Amino acid sequence: MIAGMNPRQPYPTDLRDQEWDVITHLVPDAKPGGRPEAYPKREILNAIFYLLRSGCSWRMLPHDLPPWRIVYHYFRQWRLDGTWELMHDLLRGDVRAASGKQRQPSAGVIDSQSVKTTEKGGSVATMLASRSRGASAISSSTPSGCSSAWSSRRPVCKTPTGPCSC
Protein backbone atom coordinates (compact mmCIF):
# COMPACT_ATOMS: atom_id res chain seq x y z
CA MET A 1 0.00 0.00 0.00
CA ILE A 2 1.23 3.49 -0.84
CA ALA A 3 1.48 5.88 2.13
CA GLY A 4 -1.53 8.16 2.46
CA MET A 5 -3.67 6.09 0.10
CA ASN A 6 -6.41 3.58 0.73
CA PRO A 7 -5.46 -0.07 0.37
CA ARG A 8 -5.92 -1.21 -3.21
CA GLN A 9 -7.37 -4.42 -4.51
CA PRO A 10 -4.53 -6.89 -5.12
CA TYR A 11 -3.52 -7.89 -8.63
CA PRO A 12 -2.83 -11.55 -9.41
CA THR A 13 0.82 -10.60 -9.92
CA ASP A 14 1.27 -9.05 -6.46
CA LEU A 15 3.77 -10.66 -4.12
CA ARG A 16 2.20 -12.76 -1.39
CA ASP A 17 3.52 -12.29 2.14
CA GLN A 18 5.45 -15.57 1.97
CA GLU A 19 7.08 -14.56 -1.35
CA TRP A 20 7.99 -11.14 0.02
CA ASP A 21 9.58 -12.75 3.09
CA VAL A 22 11.79 -14.86 0.79
CA ILE A 23 13.10 -11.96 -1.32
CA THR A 24 12.97 -8.96 1.03
CA HIS A 25 16.65 -9.40 2.01
CA LEU A 26 17.63 -9.40 -1.70
CA VAL A 27 16.10 -5.98 -2.41
CA PRO A 28 18.69 -3.21 -1.99
CA ASP A 29 18.22 -0.72 0.82
CA ALA A 30 17.86 2.99 0.13
CA LYS A 31 21.10 4.88 -0.30
CA PRO A 32 22.11 6.79 2.83
CA GLY A 33 21.70 10.54 2.70
CA GLY A 34 19.17 10.48 -0.12
CA ARG A 35 15.53 11.42 -0.23
CA PRO A 36 13.19 9.33 1.88
CA GLU A 37 11.46 6.65 -0.16
CA ALA A 38 7.98 7.67 -1.22
CA TYR A 39 6.91 4.14 -2.20
CA PRO A 40 7.62 0.82 -0.52
CA LYS A 41 9.93 -1.54 -2.42
CA ARG A 42 7.25 -4.22 -2.32
CA GLU A 43 4.91 -1.95 -4.32
CA ILE A 44 7.73 -1.21 -6.78
CA LEU A 45 8.19 -4.96 -7.30
CA ASN A 46 4.41 -5.44 -7.60
CA ALA A 47 4.35 -2.82 -10.35
CA ILE A 48 7.27 -4.47 -12.18
CA PHE A 49 5.64 -7.90 -11.96
CA TYR A 50 2.34 -6.44 -13.19
CA LEU A 51 4.09 -4.89 -16.17
CA LEU A 52 5.98 -8.07 -17.04
CA ARG A 53 2.91 -10.29 -16.77
CA SER A 54 0.45 -7.98 -18.52
CA GLY A 55 2.81 -6.83 -21.26
CA CYS A 56 1.67 -3.23 -20.94
CA SER A 57 4.01 -0.33 -21.54
CA TRP A 58 5.62 1.58 -18.67
CA ARG A 59 3.31 4.54 -19.13
CA MET A 60 0.22 2.34 -18.93
CA LEU A 61 0.80 1.10 -15.39
CA PRO A 62 -2.43 1.42 -13.39
CA HIS A 63 -2.77 4.54 -11.28
CA ASP A 64 -3.02 2.61 -8.03
CA LEU A 65 0.59 1.46 -8.45
CA PRO A 66 3.60 3.76 -8.06
CA PRO A 67 4.23 6.16 -10.98
CA TRP A 68 5.86 4.55 -14.00
CA ARG A 69 8.96 6.76 -13.88
CA ILE A 70 9.77 5.65 -10.34
CA VAL A 71 9.10 2.01 -11.18
CA TYR A 72 11.29 2.23 -14.29
CA HIS A 73 14.05 3.97 -12.30
CA TYR A 74 14.25 1.08 -9.85
CA PHE A 75 13.95 -1.55 -12.60
CA ARG A 76 16.84 0.04 -14.51
CA GLN A 77 18.97 0.63 -11.42
CA TRP A 78 18.57 -2.99 -10.31
CA ARG A 79 19.40 -4.20 -13.82
CA LEU A 80 22.58 -2.10 -13.95
CA ASP A 81 23.80 -3.00 -10.45
CA GLY A 82 23.14 -6.74 -10.89
CA THR A 83 20.27 -7.05 -8.40
CA TRP A 84 18.05 -8.96 -10.84
CA GLU A 85 20.82 -11.41 -11.70
CA LEU A 86 21.64 -11.93 -8.02
CA MET A 87 17.95 -12.53 -7.19
CA HIS A 88 17.66 -15.01 -10.04
CA ASP A 89 20.79 -16.93 -9.11
CA LEU A 90 19.99 -17.15 -5.40
CA LEU A 91 16.34 -18.09 -5.93
CA ARG A 92 17.32 -20.70 -8.53
CA GLY A 93 19.75 -22.16 -5.99
CA ASP A 94 17.02 -22.25 -3.33
CA VAL A 95 14.65 -24.09 -5.68
CA ARG A 96 17.36 -26.59 -6.66
CA ALA A 97 18.33 -27.21 -3.02
CA ALA A 98 14.66 -27.70 -2.06
CA SER A 99 14.34 -30.38 -4.74
CA GLY A 100 17.45 -32.22 -3.51
CA LYS A 101 19.85 -31.01 -6.18
CA GLN A 102 23.10 -29.08 -5.91
CA ARG A 103 22.62 -25.29 -5.76
CA GLN A 104 24.60 -24.81 -8.98
CA PRO A 105 23.74 -26.79 -12.11
CA SER A 106 26.45 -29.20 -13.24
CA ALA A 107 25.49 -29.21 -16.92
CA GLY A 108 23.66 -27.05 -19.41
CA VAL A 109 21.90 -27.52 -22.69
CA ILE A 110 22.21 -25.10 -25.56
CA ASP A 111 19.71 -25.44 -28.35
CA SER A 112 20.11 -23.49 -31.55
CA GLN A 113 18.19 -23.46 -34.76
CA SER A 114 19.44 -22.14 -38.07
CA VAL A 115 17.15 -20.32 -40.43
CA LYS A 116 18.33 -20.01 -44.00
CA THR A 117 17.76 -16.70 -45.70
CA THR A 118 19.03 -15.07 -48.84
CA GLU A 119 22.07 -12.85 -48.60
CA LYS A 120 20.14 -9.70 -49.35
CA GLY A 121 16.82 -8.88 -47.81
CA GLY A 122 16.02 -11.99 -45.78
CA SER A 123 12.27 -12.23 -45.37
CA VAL A 124 11.64 -9.20 -47.62
CA ALA A 125 13.21 -10.99 -50.57
CA THR A 126 11.17 -14.09 -49.77
CA MET A 127 7.95 -12.07 -49.61
CA LEU A 128 8.63 -10.37 -52.94
CA ALA A 129 9.41 -13.68 -54.62
CA SER A 130 6.24 -15.31 -53.32
CA ARG A 131 3.84 -12.66 -54.60
CA SER A 132 1.57 -13.96 -57.30
CA ARG A 133 1.37 -12.15 -60.61
CA GLY A 134 -1.86 -13.93 -61.53
CA ALA A 135 -5.41 -13.27 -60.45
CA SER A 136 -6.05 -12.65 -56.81
CA ALA A 137 -9.28 -12.47 -54.85
CA ILE A 138 -9.43 -8.74 -55.51
CA SER A 139 -8.56 -8.71 -59.18
CA SER A 140 -10.67 -11.74 -60.09
CA SER A 141 -13.78 -9.94 -58.86
CA THR A 142 -13.22 -6.82 -60.96
CA PRO A 143 -15.12 -6.50 -64.24
CA SER A 144 -13.52 -7.14 -67.63
CA GLY A 145 -10.43 -8.88 -66.25
CA CYS A 146 -9.03 -5.62 -64.93
CA SER A 147 -6.19 -5.92 -62.44
CA SER A 148 -4.58 -3.07 -60.54
CA ALA A 149 -0.85 -2.60 -60.76
CA TRP A 150 0.73 -0.02 -58.46
CA SER A 151 3.10 2.53 -59.91
CA SER A 152 5.43 4.57 -57.76
CA ARG A 153 2.88 7.37 -57.27
CA ARG A 154 -0.69 6.27 -57.87
CA PRO A 155 -2.67 3.17 -58.77
CA VAL A 156 -3.02 2.52 -62.49
CA CYS A 157 -5.51 0.00 -63.77
CA LYS A 158 -4.29 -1.94 -66.80
CA THR A 159 -6.01 -4.40 -69.13
CA PRO A 160 -4.61 -6.24 -72.14
CA THR A 161 -6.08 -3.50 -74.37
CA GLY A 162 -4.61 -0.60 -72.33
CA PRO A 163 -5.69 1.61 -69.40
CA CYS A 164 -9.32 1.38 -68.36
CA SER A 165 -11.66 3.60 -66.38
CA CYS A 166 -12.74 1.40 -63.50
Average pLDDT over residues 141-151: 45
Helix, strand, coil share (%) of the chain residues, nearest 5: 40, 5, 50
Average pLDDT over residues 18-34: 93
**pLDDT recorded at residue 127:** 56
Cα 135 to chain center, whole Å?
39
Average pLDDT of every residue of the chain: 79
Longest dimension (CA), the chain: 83
- Residue 69 to residue 58: CA distance in whole angstroms: 8
pLDDT band at 123 (very low <50, low <70, confident <90, very high): low
Share of the chain above pLDDT 90, in %: 53
Residue 27 has pLDDT above 90, yes or no: yes
Phi, psi of 79 (to 5 degrees): -70, -45
Average pLDDT over residues 144-155: 46
Give me the residue spans of the domains in the chain. Answer: 17-98
**pLDDT recorded at residue 31:** 85
